[in-house]
Structure 1
Amino acid sequence: MKNYFCHSRLFIRLAVVSILVFFTVAGFPADVLAHGVTAGDKGFIQESSGVMIFPFIYLGAKHMVTGYDHLLFLVGVIFFLYRFKDVAVYVSLFALGHTITLLFGTLMQISVNPYLIDAIIGFSIVYKALDNLGAFQRWFGVQPDTRIATMIFGLFHGFGLATKILDYQVSPDGLVTNLIAFNVGVEIGQLLALSVILIAMGFWRRSTRFSRQAYTAQVVLMTAGFLLTGYQLTGYFVA
């Protein structure tokens, strides 16, 4: 009976989220949902050529610390990880995944529709929230390998980064060096953001209310993932 009510509450909240997403994305114009870069950063890169290590490190770090989709996924990944070793393993798998596709996608000039790739990134947040809730085990009797899933979604996040780089229309002069610098910046930004998240999580976990609030936090993550996915799919269909 307890499990029945838990499932019922989850489905009700998912239904409410879906309704909110529908009405929210219906009211957003396509240009608000578009995948793009800031005009200042894009103009600077388009007018530059040659090796520019520090500007690209800055751009990579900036993209990560302001990339709420990447940060939300990271929050989901580490939410129930208490040992530093486990955090290091999962974050490393995520970093490996997005590094591979960032380099491969950019160097091979693989064009991925930015709306669709960002929709998948948004869905990765939904997936991780459901995984944290144990939904797959309850619904299907199967628990996906969380490490493999983290790396796979890291690959998709990397294609999102590659799309960002290609949108900059980077000069081929010094491309490899600049691309490596950008990736270094991404990792620096990820470590900085992760440090803040872990400190905040450390204080939160000491609270007696953490166990009660953890479920709500996953629903909030799921809601954010649905919204991001809805935004990008709306942009794809109306662009």
Structure 2
Amino acid sequence: MALFTSFSSIAHGIDDATKQFLESIEGAAILPFIYIGAKHMLTGYDHLLFLLGVVFFLFRGKDVLLYVSLFTLGHSLTLLYGVFSNIDVNPYIIDAIIGLSVVYKGFDNLGGFQRLFNCQPNTKVAVTIFGLFHGFGLATKIQEFQLPSNGLVTNIISFNVGVEIGQFLALAMVLIVLNFWRKHRSYLAFATLTNTAIMSAGFMLIGWQLTGYFIAAS
């Protein structure tokens, strides 16, 4: 139980050094919040796993741009709305839903909907909707702290800009690896194994977050 409590705290929280820094800020701090946003995205394995699933079978640049833009639009809207409107969302539950988004994309990439249900959900709509949940997940990170109203708008927008920078850097690294891998036969040969691993990681995230939720509630 102690292990799950510790891990779940890390999974949906912010490290102690960043926490101390945020709580000491007075006024606008553009560059620090950009850095914190970028750092959070680059170390946010749940967001990165979802993005990996989204771009795994996208071979054209314009398709990558479209889907990533839809995801960006979704999480930017709910990040800003969640913080400025002080929407109270349980961080464990929202992060469990983010884990579900990872499972969904891996399952979708495996053709699970067509094989089991003989249908195919609209992928663009799904990516946008899950982007909204990812944004609420990001908002819960900020809402854990009582940030002063002085400079709050500037700081939250800066955090969002940092998230987009981090996403761009992470996506660039993912695409470089994928483009290199796609030149080899092993790419399609291991596609099923890779997306099964993505699904498995998503289930683990769900389990960790729900465990954290029940421990916190007990």
TM-score bucket (shorter structure): over 0.9
What is the match of residue 220 of structure 1? 197
Aligned with 1:101: secondary structure? helix
Cα offsets for 1:112-139 (capped at 9, x unmatched): 1010000000110000000001101111
What is the match of residue 166 of structure 2? 189
Counterparts of 1:208 and 1:136 in 2: how far apart (Å)? 26
Aligned with 1:29: secondary structure? helix
What is the match of residue 11 of structure 1? none
What is the match of residue 150 of structure 1? 127
| TM-score with structure 2 setting the length | 0.96
Letter in 1 for 2:212: G
Counterparts of 1:142 and 1:136 in 2: how far apart (Å)? 6
1:81-120 to structure 2, matched below 5 A, reads 81-120=58-97
Q: Choose 1 or 2 for highest CA Rg.
A: 1
What is the match of residue 12 of structure 1? none
1:32 aligns with 2:22: no
| Alpha-carbon shift at residue 27 of structure 1 (Å) | 8.4
| Alpha-carbon shift at residue 75 of structure 1 (Å) | 0.1
Aligned CA RMSD, in angstroms, stands at: 1.1
Q: Percent identity?
A: 58
1:130-169 to structure 2, matched below 5 A, reads 130-169=107-146
1:50 aligns with 2:27: yes
Counterparts of 1:178 and 1:229 in 2: how far apart (Å)? 30
Runs of 4+ in 1 over 6 A off after TM superposition: none
| TM-score with structure 1 setting the length | 0.87
Counterparts of 1:150 and 1:169 in 2: how far apart (Å)? 31
Whether the 8 Å contact between 2:37 and 2:163 is mirrored in structure 1 is: yes
What is the match of residue 9 of structure 1? none
Cα offsets for 1:146-180 (capped at 9, x unmatched): 00000000000000000001113221111111111
Which residue of the other structure, out of 194, 207, 211, is the alignment partner of 1:230? Answer: 207
Q: Aligned pair count? A: 214
